[in-house]
Amino acid sequence: MRRHRTTLRIASIAGLAAALATGCGDTGAKDGPGVKSGTRTVVVFAAASLTESFTALGRTFEASHPGVRVKFNFGGSSALAQQIDQGAPADVFAAASPATMKQVTDAGGASAPRVFARNRLEIAVPKGASGTVTSLQDLANPKTKVVLCAPQVPCGAAALKALKAAGLTVKPVSQEQDVKAALTKVRLNEADAALVYRTDVKAAAGQVQGIDFPEAAQAINDYPIAALTKAPQPGLAGEFVQSVLSPQGQATLQQAGFERP
């Protein structure tokens, strides 16, 4: 049984490496006539809530680094941390909470992470909703179909913290592995509401509506970033981290709805 589990684990890592090599999760430039064979690639593992802002930052980085491509693997921070700990090839990790970054630093996969942004929750409801959900308290109504992120995911941990601060118990109809999946349930009218990040509501402008609530201030997530110890491109990894921390990088993040660290 142990040998079987080890084999599966190795296969999983190998599969991820192959996927990254062929462009899985790539939101940067695609291979084409204008891409030279000597192009270097920096691979960034980033929380799903960073999809839009990091895609923009990746394009800016490529523009200022001729011959360099940025490839992203977006997903739940806890799953990304596990992949890194298991040896997935990556240069940079940007997490949605210090706890998930700590998984990687404790395993020796990174050191000296820097907090580059903060994010808070909003209630997302379908566009044109009838108004049955107007506050956090409404999520406790058993007739309300609520979606949360899974507890081990930063947005799920933040949601539980906010609900605890409000003294509420909510029974979700589903618990998703990343914030984008939770938001999709609302966007497709498969749920009445979801607790997601403010930045995701903003990114889905016109598709969902966002509702602020005071308890969100007690569940703000810090976002750390670090170059990885075994980065295949350590120089580029450090430069990408610095680009995120730069005034231009911070401006892009704030435009997306993130708060200053």
What value does the CA radius of gyration of the chain take, rounded to a whole number of Å? Answer: 19
Q: Is residue 40 part of a domain?
A: yes
Q: Is residue 261 part of a domain?
A: no
Residues 158, 246 within the same domain: no
Residues 22, 100 within the same domain: yes
Q: Amino acid identity of 158?
A: A
> Domain holding 180: CATH number?
3.40.190.10
Residues 239, 196 within the same domain: no
The number of folded domains in the chain is 2
Evaluate whether 95 touches 223 at the Cβ level (below 8 Å).
yes
Q: Is residue 179 part of a domain?
A: yes
Q: How many CB atoms lie within 10 A of CB 137?
A: 13
Quick one: pLDDT band at residue 28, thresholds 50, 70, 90?
very low
Instruction: Retrieve residue 15's tokens.
Output: 């599969």
Average of per-residue pLDDT across 106-113: 96
Residues 114, 233 within the same domain: yes
Q: What is the b/e burial string over 21-51, where b = at least 16 CB atoms within 10 angstroms of the residue's CB? A: eeeebbbbbeeeeeeeeeeebbbbbbbbbbb
Q: Is residue 29 part of a domain?
A: yes
Instruction: Retrieve residue 58's tokens.
Output: 């990746």
- Whole-prediction pTM: 0.85
Q: Is residue 260 part of a domain?
A: no
Quick one: pLDDT band at residue 129, thresholds 50, 70, 90?
confident
Predicted local distance difference test score (pLDDT) of residue 51: 97
Q: Is residue 57 part of a domain?
A: yes
Residues 76, 204 within the same domain: no
Residue 100: give the domain boundaries.
2-118+222-255
Residues 153, 110 within the same domain: no
Residues 84, 126 within the same domain: no
